[in-house]
Structure formats: C-alpha cells, structure tokens
Amino acid sequence: MTLDDFYSFIVLYQVRNVSDAATELNITQSALSKRLRNIQQELDTPLISTRNKRQLTITESGEVFFRYAQTITAQYDLMRQELRDYQALRRGTLHIGSVPIMAQYGLTQKMSRFMHDYPQINIRLEELQGADLLKALQHQKFDLGILRDVQSQQLNKSQFDAINLDTDELRVVLAADHPLAQQASITMADLRDCEIVTLNPGSGVYEKMGRLFQQAGITPNIRFSTPHIETLLGMVAHTSRVTFLFAKAAAPFLTPAYVTRPFTQPLVSHLQLVYPRGTLSQAAHRFVDYLK
C-alpha cells in the first residue's frame, strides 16, 4: 500500500463518487477503481458499498481506514515540511542589530547554542545605539532587532512584531559613600538637587529617566552623557552624582564602590526582539525560538 492509496481513499471518502474523485486526483476512473480494489484485497475487508449506484456508502471498516489514512498522510506531510525546513536552514546568514547589551542578558549563550546546532547559518551582529538601530530597522537593514521596549515603541506597530525576551528594573546607581546610599529606596524628590550623569539619548535609559523627571515636575541637572556604562560609572565614583541603569545591564560593571537603589515605585522595562512583519526566513524563525 502506498501514500497514493491513502490520498486516493481520502478524496473518494470526501466526494463519494468514483468519477468525481478520479477527476480531482487527475487519474482515470479505471485506475482509481483498480487502486481501490487493491487496497481492499490487501486489507481483506470491504471499505465501500456500491449498492447505491449514485453515491458510494462507506462501510464501518472504511470509516476506520479513513481515520488512519488522515493520520498517516498528515504525519507524512509534517515530515516533508520539517525536512524542507531543515534544508532551508542548511545555509544562510542572519543579519541582526542590537543595542550593546547581549552578554548581560544571556543572549550570547543562546546565540552560541544556535550556531552549534546550525553550523551552516552565519550570524552578522551589529551593535548600535538605539536611535541608529531604529533607523536601520525602519529601512529593513536587519532581519531582527534587539532593543528595549521604550525604543521599540517608536516603531510602527502595523509594520513590526515584538517579542519580550527579558524584564529588567531601572535603578539609581550611586557611590557607596553617597548620602542617599543609606536609603532602601529612592524617590524623585530625593534627586531634585543631584547632578545627573546618564547614557546618551536613544539608550532607553535616557528616555525612561526623562519621563520620571517630567512626571515629577522636576528639571534634571544633566551634567554629562556617554554611550558607555564604564565611563558613566567612572563619573559617579566617589562623587555626589547619580546615574540610572537597568539592574541586569549594570551588574557586570558594578564593584563595591557602587550601590544601586530601586525607586519607591519600581519601574520595569522589557528587552524585546523585533522584526518586520512577513519577512522572517525559516532560519530567523528558528533563531527566535532559541532566544525566547
């Protein structure tokens, strides 16, 4: 018995007419009738009754055979699709744009596992500041983008899909000997007279910080900005200045010289993977599964 036998019986079951089924299968009526006889002979049981010349009647054995025929052909189709997917993943390149925080969120390890499982898929990663990354995504220069929700919110939701990869909390970072370091949490009023150093606009941190000050009705005294966390922390050490960083992103850079304090009302943000709708290749689909 072949897959063609199963497919033929499914069509015959659905249309209940040999002539119509033969037409749909693009074979002759005699060829279909022969195929049906061979199936019944192999199974040694009738699958149809021809008493009604106008319409076939399916026997109880035919009902059972139909259910199994559906299962067998469905599994075969799934196997073929998976094999085609595998073939599609044998070669190619994924072009990914990301804000420079891959390692802090464990994404480099996930990317490494993907590269191990799919050795023929190359990855080209570009780490950019938020504003540059957004511009590149809008011009579809990347297959995928990794950035914070405060940044991805600037993309057109009708053109891009987003998946949350991780959650992080925005914290105040200050020198361990700063007077506010003695507090368990920080309010915006506590920061009214502080000098602020910050990551550059487009970082996601800058935008979150700006909203906090705006909501509190306070104009921040921003003295310094930089794209680099290490430089930022150097401007905080042993001073009365404060900065803002997401906890997981800052963790690898912190030493006993610094402390972080949460806001009295915790502020969280999502790290997201975004991509243009309708443009994902099979390799990109699989890569997304690894990051989620």
Distance CA 244, CA 196 (A): 9
- Say whether domain 167-269 belongs to CATH 3.30.70.60: no
**Right CATH for 92-164+272-291 from 3.40.50.720, 3.40.1400.10, 3.40.190.10, 3.40.50.2300:** 3.40.190.10
Distance CA 188, CA 267 (A): 12
Torsion from C-alpha of 31, 33, 38, 44, nearest 10 degrees = 170
Dig out the tokens for 249 from the structure.
């992103």
Do 86 and 117 touch, CB atoms closer than 8 A?
no
Q: Which residues of the chain are in CATH 3.40.190.10 domains?
A: 92-164+272-291
pLDDT confidence of residue 56: 83
pLDDT confidence of residue 80: 86
Dig out the tokens for 140 from the structure.
């579809």
Architecture of domain 3-88: Orthogonal Bundle (1.10)
Task: Encode 165-199: b = buried (16+ Cβ within 10 Å), e = exposed.
Answer: bbebebbbbbbeebebbeeeebebebbeebbbbbb
pLDDT confidence of residue 53: 58
Sign of the alpha-carbon dihedral angle for 118, 120, 121, 127: positive
Q: What is the DSSP letter of 219?
A: -
Do 221 and 195 touch, CB atoms closer than 8 A?
yes
* pLDDT by 10s per residue, the chain, length 292: 899 999 999 999 998 888 888 999 999 999 999 999 999 999 999 999 877 656 788 999 999 999 999 999 999 998 888 777 666 666 778 999 999 999 999 999 999 999 998 888 899 999 998 889 999 999 989 999 999 999 999 999 889 999 999 999 999 999 999 999 999 999 999 999 999 999 998 888 999 999 999 999 999 999 999 999 999 999 999 999 999 999 999 999 999 999 999 999 899 999 999 998 887 777 888 898 898 8
Amino acid identity for residue 268 in this structure? V
